A and B are shown apart, each in its own frame.
Chain A
Amino acid sequence: MSVGVLPILILALSVALFTTLQLILTRTRFGRIVRATADNRDVVRLMGVNPGRVYNVVMGLALALASVAGMLLAMRSSFTPYSGVERLLVAFEVVVLGGLGTFWGAMVGGIILGVAELVGLRFDPNAGPLYAHLLFLTGVLLRPSGLFGPRS
């Protein structure tokens, strides 16, 4: 069994981006401002932060990350104008399954759903993401606020 260079590069790059984002959000002044703005934008405004500016930067950062995903997708497989929607739902599922706004949640959720889809396709080749969806629904039913979200 051999492993391609590109998949390894993609894995390394996404883990690096993941970790960097997490470090920015938890360890820097900017990250603290972002988390505070998410919690309460009025209080943040009293502290001399312009929430609109924070949203601009966060939006830019998010779109930059999305463009990296698009570049990696283009390098790895064919794509069409409709390729976005197919991945979008999975991305939502990953975050929701893990719990919104959690680091380990997004990481573990992504791995769980990815493996579930591949295993499902192995046993039932025309199932598409059916089994990943079913796993997602089961997970969300058992933990309505995500695997790593606040316990209700």
Chain B
Amino acid sequence: MSAAVLSLLAAGVIAAAAAPWLLGEGILRLLSELLLMLAMAQMWNLLAGYAGLVSMGQQVFVGLGAYCLYMTSISLKLSPYWVLPVAPFFCAAVAAVMALFLFRLREAYFAIGTWVLSEVVSLAISKIDGLGASAAWDCPPRG
């Protein structure tokens, strides 16, 4: 990487770190929404653009990440910030299990298979009372 790119990257990191003190709550919220979209676009570009895996079921991992963060934060009585690293590993483990059979499918079969699997997970969660069934969760409690 050239020096210009590195310094630009450093400036970006510093600006992001300083953002909570510089910007108001509304802008921060908008910004996190934007970054969330960016992360998801990147995820899909990596999958479909670079690897050629057209998946229609990536929403399942967004949901599992959210549920995982909430449930670990609640059950361990810790601040959500401390349990942040758990969700990616949990999702990776789920993905490893799903891959066992989803990778038997190709192209359209794969796309529909992933979509159906994510529907199954969301229907299953909506039937489990311990996970709140179909009720909406709020922001995790701060501890």
Contacts and interface: CB of A to CB of B under 8 A. Distances in A.
A137 B124 contact: no
B94 to A, nearest CB: 15
The secondary structure that dominates the B interface is: helix
Given A137-B113, A140-B113, A130 B120 contact: yes
Interface stretch (B24-32, B46-54, B69-77, B103-111): B103-111
A141 interface: yes
Given A93-B112, A136-B116, A144 B106 contact: yes
A72 interface: no
B103 to A, nearest CB: 10
Contacts of B106: 144-145
A90 to B, nearest CB: 10
Nearest to A146: B109
B119 A144 contact: no
Contacts, number: 47
Secondary structure of the A contact surface, majority rule: helix
Given A126-B127, A130-B124, A89 B119 contact: yes
Nearest to A126: B127
Interface residues of B, number: 16
B124 A96 contact: no
Interface residues of A, number: 19
A64 interface: no
Interface string B111-142: 01101110110011001000000000000000
Interface string B77-102: 00000000000000000000000010
Nearest 7 A/B pairs, CB to CB: A130-B123, A96-B112, A92-B112, A144-B104, A133-B120, A133-B116, A141-B101
7 contacts: A89-B115, A92-B115, A96-B108, A96-B112, A100-B109, A130-B123, A146-B109
